[in-house]
Structure 1
Amino acid sequence: MMSAETSYSPPAPNKVLGNDDLVGEILSRVDSPTTLVRAAAVSKLWLRVASDRAFLRRFRARHPPRLLGFYVTGDWMPRPEFVPTNTEVISAASLRRAAGSVLHAFPEFSSPGVWDSRNGRVLFDHGQAPAAPDRYHAALLPDDDLVPSRGDDSVLYLFHAKGDKLSVWLRRMGDEQQLVAGEWVLRDTLSVKETCGHLVEPGPELASVVGVGDNAEFAFLEMGVGDNYFVIYLHLGSRKAEKVYQRDPDNDDIIQVHPFMTVWPPVFPSLDSDEELRLG
Structure 2
Amino acid sequence: MLTDMHIAVIGGDARQLEVIRKLIELDAKLSLIGFDQLDHGFTGATKGQIEELDFASLDAVILPVAGTDSEGKVDTIFSNKKVVLTKEQIEQTPPHFTVYSGISNAYLNEITATCSRNLVKLFERDDVAIYNSIPTVEGTLMMVIQHTDYTIHGSKVMVLGFGRTGMSVARSFQALGAHVRVGARRSEHLARITEMTFTPFHLKDLEQQVQDVDIVINTIPHPIVSANVIAKMPAHTLIIDLASKPGGTDFRYAEKRGVKAFLAPGLPGIVAPKTAGQILANVLTSLLIENKARKENAR
TM-score category (smaller protein): under 0.3
Query: Which entry has the higher C-alpha Rg, 1 or 2?
Result: 1
Higher strand share: 1
Higher-RCO chain (CA-CA 8 Å, sequence separation at least 6) = 1
Task: State TM-score, norm by structure 1.
Answer: 0.26
Task: State TM-score, norm by structure 2.
Answer: 0.25
